[in-house]
Amino acid sequence: MDFNKVGKEAQEAINKCRDLSELEEISRRYLGRKGVVTSAFQKIAELSHQEKREQGRQLNQLRGKLEKEIEQKRQGLKDSFFQEKSERKIDISRPGKRFKAGHLHPLTQVVRRIEDIFQLMGFSVAEGPELETEYYNFDALNIPADHPARDIWDTFWVKGAKKGQKNLLRTHTSPNQVRYLEKNHPPLRIIVPGMCYRHEATDRTHGFQFMQVEGLMVDREVSLANFKAVVEKFCQMFFGPETEIRIIPDYFPFTEPSVEVSIRDKDGRWLEIMGAGLVHPNVFKSVGYRPYEWQGFAFGVGVERLAMIKYGLDDLRQFYQGDLRLIQQF
């Protein structure tokens, strides 16, 4: 067998080869089980010792060379194949395939954000019942029966009374100031989110059902300036770092002084977002604290209001219509 000739032929075949399957065919032809080179190895068994050594060496050389050449060619063919393939462009403008996922209600997203921000400032999240007693909703908050201030909160009363105790749907989350103070010792910082109800006509900005978040901080010394710092931080984290706030007087029986907090919108108008103030000593008194021993601030923020400002909605009732066309935008 002429090794040179075989080697040359094989080399030519490899050089000419244009695709992988042809290359594998060449590989089989020379190096396969019945291939030219493999058969030659079988034949040298019949030769003399001397020839065996000589031809064996040459055959090994040839096999090694072919293996190397084929492998090189293989890599080359693969590379150009992938290169060619990579040049085919896909249409990236075609819409992506969407996976089905639901949506969290915007009010939930707003409440979560409020909770997260206040938790960063050390406020714990507490809860209280929606079906409240007259005591917690009014009396304990320095709003005795027959007090004209009760008219601020048009109330849904529940039918039937037990032992003169009337139940109602809470008109605000403030009863939880009292509930929490009764069971915990200051210093403390809490927020209480929850649904509230008022017996009033609904319009774009008023609902008979709405969500509020109550806030309360109690310590030995808590000032209005402290409240201002906390609420400013909150507003900047919620609405953006440039947010401006304004604090003006307001009236609530359970805070003294009482204030109203507004933020400035794009058009320079002030939008009211919460009522607040320093906890009235009578509230501390009704939970059995010695008056003037503790101080605190409290606030109540309307969740729908924040959501409307944040997302640019103009009708509060939309939040309660369960319309997927709205919810799926959030």
Partner 1 sequence: MIFDYSWLQSFFKKKLPTPQEMAEVLTQHGFETQLAGQVFDVSIPPSRAGDCLSHLGLAREIGAILNYRLNYSVDPKKIKAGKTGFKVSVVDSELCPRYGLSAWSGITVGDSPAEITSRIKAAGQRPINAIVDLVNYLMLETGQPIHAFDADKIRGSITVRLSQAGEVFVSLENKKYRLPKGLLVVADQAGILALAGLKGGIQAEVTRETKNIMVEAANFNSRIVRQAVKEFDLRTEASWRFENGLDPSWVDFAQRRLRDLGQPILKPDKIELVADIYPKPVRDKSISLDLTWMRQLLGVKISTQQTEGILKRLGFKIKVISSRKLKVEVPSWRLDIQAPEDLVEEVGRLYGYDQIKSDPPQALLIPPQVNHARFWQRVVEDLMVHLGMNETYQYSFLSARELSLFGYPEAQAVELANPISARYQYLRFSLLPNLLKSARENSKRFGQVELFEIGQTFYRPDRERWTLAGVLFDHQADQEKFYELKGVVESLIERLGITDAWFDDYQAEDYFGGSKTWHPSHRAEVKVGSKVVGFLGEIHPILADRLGFQNPVFAFEIDLGQLIELASEQQEYQPISPYPAVIRDLSVLVPETTSIEKVIYVADLTGGDLVRDVDLVDVYQDKQLGQGKSLTLRVVYQSTEKNLSALDVNKLEQKIIKAFQQEGWYLRQPDND
Q: Using the minimum distance from each CB to partner 1, give the nearer residue, 47 or 324.
A: 324
- Tell the residue number behind the tokens 């609904």, with chain if given: 202
Question: Residues binding partner 1: what is the number (CB under 8 A)?
Answer: 79
Q: Which stretch binds partner 1 (CB under 8 A): 24-32, 66-74, 85-93, 254-262?
A: 254-262
Are the C-beta atoms of 157 and 165 separated by less than 8 Å?
no
Residue 288 beta carbon to partner 1: minimum distance, rounded to whole angstroms:
18
Give the Å distances, CA to CA, from 184 to 189, 215, 230, 283, 288.
Answer: 11, 15, 22, 15, 12
Q: Using the minimum distance from each CB to partner 1, give the nearer residue, 64 or 187.
A: 187
Residue 256 beta carbon to partner 1: minimum distance, rounded to whole angstroms:
4
Residue 299 beta carbon to partner 1: minimum distance, rounded to whole angstroms:
14
Examine residue 204 and tell whether it contacts partner 1 (CB under 8 A).
no
Residue 293, judged by CB atoms within 10 A of its CB (0-12, 13-18, 19+), counts as exposed
Residue 306 beta carbon to partner 1: minimum distance, rounded to whole angstroms:
15
Residue 240, judged by CB atoms within 10 A of its CB (0-12, 13-18, 19+), counts as exposed
Q: Using the minimum distance from each CB to partner 1, give the nearer residue, 31 or 152.
A: 152
Residue 238 beta carbon to partner 1: minimum distance, rounded to whole angstroms:
16
Q: Select from 55, 58, 124, 243 the one that contacts partner 1 (CB under 8 A).
A: 124
Within its chain, how far is the Cα of 291 from the centroid? Answer: 43
- Tell the residue number behind the tokens 């079906």, with chain if given: 131
Are the C-beta atoms of 54 and 23 separated by less than 8 Å?
no
**Could you give the string, one character per residue 76-105, with x where binding to partner 1 holds by CB under 8 A and - elsewhere?**
------------------------xxxxxx
- Report the alpha-carbon angle 257-223-135, nearest 5: 50
**Could you give the string, one character per residue 223-252, with x where binding to partner 1 holds by CB under 8 A and - elsewhere?**
xxxx-xxx-xx------------xxxxxx-
Examine residue 74 and tell whether it contacts partner 1 (CB under 8 A).
no
Site for partner 1 in 146-175 (CB under 8 A): 146, 148-149, 151-152, 156-160, 162, 167, 169
Examine residue 209 and tell whether it contacts partner 1 (CB under 8 A).
yes
- What single-letter DSSP state applies at residue 226? H
Q: How far apart are alpha carbons 176 and 254 in whole angstroms?
A: 12
Q: How far apart are alpha carbons 201 and 203 in whole angstroms?
A: 7
Residue 151, judged by CB atoms within 10 A of its CB (0-12, 13-18, 19+), counts as exposed
Q: Using the minimum distance from each CB to partner 1, give the nearer residue, 75 or 119.
A: 119
Examine residue 295 and tell whether it contacts partner 1 (CB under 8 A).
yes
Nearest 5°: phi and psi at 11?
A: -60, -45
Q: Using the minimum distance from each CB to partner 1, give the nearer residue, 89 or 269.
A: 269
Examine residue 135 and tell whether it contacts partner 1 (CB under 8 A).
no
Residue 44 beta carbon to partner 1: minimum distance, rounded to whole angstroms:
44
Q: Using the minimum distance from each CB to partner 1, give the nearer residue, 9 or 232.
A: 232
